[in-house]
Structure 1
Amino acid sequence: MKKKFDYKKILFVPFQEVRIPAWALLLVVVAIVVGGVLATQPRESVVVEEPVVVVEEPEEVYFSWLDGREQESEESVVPYAIMIDHALDSGLPIGIDQAPVVFETLVEGGVTRLMALFDPRDNIEYIGPVRSARPYFVDWAQGFGAVYAHAGGSPTALSLIKDIIIKDINEIGSDGKYFWRSKNREAPHNLFTSSELMNEAFAVKEWELTRDEQLLPWEWQESVEGVEEEQNALSVLIDFSRTSYTVAWEYNLEDSAYQRYRSGKLAQTSDGTNLVAKNVVVQFVDIGLEDELRLTMETLGDGDAVVCSLGICKEGEWKRAATNEPTQFFVENELVVLVPGNTWIAVVPNGRSVTWE
């Protein structure tokens, strides 16, 4: 006989009391509380760091005020201006090829003399022959704020040195130890000095090697590219007095510099170094007589000038307002821009022939 399935036993199960331990209830409460606290905590944001781009500042570049060459600091040095013999019987000079600036002009008898400005940071073993002072050279040295080195001088020049209190190193006096006489030449063409001796004089006399900012005689050109097409002066001829003191400057394309010739011969120093100049400047001045022998020159005011560099000559003017300022050169009313390198300044009488082609 088939047994009936009792649905009531399934649908109507008697209620039974279920007891939950206290520790379980406590655990549930703790879980709820902790969960709530965690839910209310702010979520940490994810920070994406941007790459740091470091922009390097370009290194500051400084240039010498004398010749435009690069130097380590912006300080302006005090040059020393040394009188250099240039008479035909004096023998070849030495050291002037390393001078940033050279002045050349007449002294008595139609002879020319040089004044070379040197940077005291350079090391030049032989400079000379050293000769005597003339007042207009003293004037130009003062304009550059230079220390003036010489062997005696004309009465007017020595008086001017004392009056303007220019720093000078005079071999004929108490400064003979900063010069020496060579046995290979005859006096008075045998007096020489060196950078070391000049710097020793600076130190002993406690002179400053740096100068305050002053007017500049010129500015420096940053680039020399693309100027060859304008060249009009591959040869510059300067007539100082007579044939033996006629100077020619021939432009060398490879070196972008002028090669010096004197009396038609290649000009060199006594150690065989060719004399060249990156810039050739001609200054025209009024010249007179101080006495039967010595000359006077107009160093203040203004006048005509010719500025030559990179095979190009341009006519302009020079201006100088005060003795403690350098002569400035202008082309089309703008301060002239020269090529970095040495500059040779030829000071000639007004009306004297200067040609270029």
Structure 2
Amino acid sequence: MAWPARSAAAFRGAALTVVAVSVLLVTGCSGPPVLVPVATPSPTARPAGDSGPPVTVAFSPLRGTRLEEPAAPHPSIAVKIDNHEEARPQIALNRSDIAFEELVEGGLTRYLVVWHSDVPESVGPVRSVRPMDPDIASPFGGIMSYSGGQEQFVEMMMATPLVNIVFDFDDTGLFERADERPSPHDVILAAAEAVSRNASLAPPPVQFSYGTRDPLAAPALAATPTSRIDLVFSEARFPSWEWDATSGAWLRSQEGAPDSEASGDRVRATNVVTLRVGIDWSYGEVPRTVMVGSGEAWASVAGRTVHGTWTKDAAAAPIVLTADDGSRIRLAPGNTWVELVPDEGSATFVP
């Protein structure tokens, strides 16, 4: 049965109810600042001998970066982004907070990209939803946008509490086709406008823990120097990341060629998190990345890589990263790419 042409508003899920996250940095405390999710605000405190008022510092929940002047609360927007060769270069990847790369049919990969700290005017190209996307997007709350998909996969996404904004059903002008791009790799979303129309939704909860710019330096973590990350999803998709100390970022390549976004800038990340994941083939040729469970994990930050495990207890639960010594893995403040590498693939970390 084909989906009827109806407005995006008619297909919206109920707004996700999320407890607001407050992050407080108390002046005078020793040790690095750490961003962690908390259910309710904690009272600030003053260091000994300080008679002034307590200081509250706001952080971006999905980047861990300090906000000098916090903006009005607004939701995040997750968008299914194409990674076909004809879809490149993608728009505004470097302005995202967290990007997930996942295996899809034919050995290709697609992205589920989340913007919150810096929502661009336009993002894309937007493509169709896959069966693992509800489990990836649900922890963020807010908005999920995609171009359509198999009926069963659209139903799965519609069943989440997220607001669904779907190209196939939209009659509100949030999407357009870019004349300079070949179809079907030409659907562009007005992301900032989509967020503006849903500004009453809650902001996203914190997903990862954050520390200093070099959070893996502690000897107990046994992090190893890393200059390059080589990943294999399939024979058709083998991205890599190179550490660039000058810019303080990991620089991305795909299939051996530098990967750039539409701005002309090299795709980059402050943190690269690699998760070894199982694949469920019960949907025929469409692989479903198994996101609820646990597995092997690596976090690569500031030219180092630490080994550990990942766990995700439920569809709406965040991914938790734990180092081999039992401590929580902390990332550096900045954007993060999460590489969902299948068990049949590989991850190599070159010193």
TM range (shorter): 0.7 to 0.9
- Post-superposition CA distance 1:161-198 (Å, at most 9, x none): 23234321111113552111111112110111133321
1:220 aligns with 2:210: yes
TM (norm. structure 1) is 0.77
1:292 counterpart letter in structure 2: G
1:239 pairs, out of 191, 211, 232, with 232
1:108 pairs, out of 83, 105, 108, with 105
1:95 counterpart letter in structure 2: A
1:78 aligns with 2:75: yes
Cα distance, 1:54–1:303 mapped onto 2, change above 3 Å:
closer
After TM superposition, list the pairs within 5 Å mapping 1:230-309 onto structure 2. 232-242=225-235, 244-309=236-301
2:137 pairs, out of 129, 133, 141, with 141
Q: How far apart are the structure 1 equivalents of 2:215 and 2:309? A: 26
1:157 pairs, out of 126, 131, 153, with 153
* Greater helix fraction, Structure 1 or Structure 2: 1
Match of 2:332 in 1: 339
The farther-off stretch of 78-87 and 53-62 is 53-62
The alignment partner of 2:155 has SS state of: helix
1:334 counterpart letter in structure 2: S
1:78 counterpart letter in structure 2: P
Cα distance, 1:232–1:122 mapped onto 2, change above 3 Å:
closer
Cα distance, 1:54–1:305 mapped onto 2, change above 3 Å:
closer
2:250 counterpart letter in structure 1: Y
Q: How far apart are the structure 1 equivalents of 2:259 and 2:283? A: 32
Q: How far apart are the structure 1 equivalents of 2:171 and 2:151? A: 18
Q: Is the 8 A contact 1:260 1:266 kept in 2?
A: yes
Match of 1:169 in 2: 165
Q: How far apart are the structure 2 equivalents of 1:94 and 1:210? A: 23
2:276 counterpart letter in structure 1: F
Larger of the two Rg values belongs to structure: 1
Q: How far apart are the structure 2 equivalents of 1:280 and 1:289? A: 26
Q: Which has the higher contact order (CA 8 A, sep 6+)?
A: 2
The alignment partner of 1:334 has SS state of: coil
After TM superposition, list the pairs within 5 Å mapping 1:28-43 onto structure 2. none
1:159 counterpart letter in structure 2: E
Q: How far apart are the structure 1 equivalents of 2:171 and 2:304? A: 43
Q: How far apart are the structure 1 equivalents of 2:192 and 2:113? A: 16
Structure 1 residue 74, shift from structure 2 partner: 9.9
Q: How far apart are the structure 2 equivalents of 1:228 and 1:251? A: 19
1:64 aligns with 2:63: no
Q: How far apart are the structure 2 equivalents of 1:180 and 1:75? A: 28
TM-align CA RMSD: 2.4
Q: How far apart are the structure 1 equivalents of 2:97 and 2:119? A: 13
Q: Is the 8 A contact 2:215 2:330 kept in 1?
A: no
Listed as ranges, the gaps of 5+ residues in structure 2 are: 1-48
1:238 counterpart letter in structure 2: L
The farther-off stretch of 161-170 and 74-83 is 74-83
2:52 counterpart letter in structure 1: E
- Post-superposition CA distance 1:33-62 (Å, at most 9, x none): xxxxxxxxxxxxxxxxxxxx9843463211
Cα distance, 1:75–1:337 mapped onto 2, change above 3 Å:
farther
The share of aligned pairs that are identical, in percent, is 25
Match of 1:18 in 2: none
- Post-superposition CA distance 1:134-154 (Å, at most 9, x none): 121221100222411001012
The alignment partner of 1:135 has SS state of: coil
Structure 1 residue 200, shift from structure 2 partner: 3.7
Q: How far apart are the structure 1 equivalents of 2:228 and 2:126? A: 30
Match of 1:48 in 2: none
Q: How far apart are the structure 2 equivalents of 1:272 and 1:344? A: 19
2:209 counterpart letter in structure 1: E
Q: How far apart are the structure 2 equivalents of 1:252 and 1:159? A: 42
Cα distance, 1:330–1:76 mapped onto 2, change above 3 Å:
farther
Structure 1 residue 347, shift from structure 2 partner: 0.2
TM (norm. structure 2) is 0.78
Q: How far apart are the structure 1 equivalents of 2:78 and 2:106? A: 23
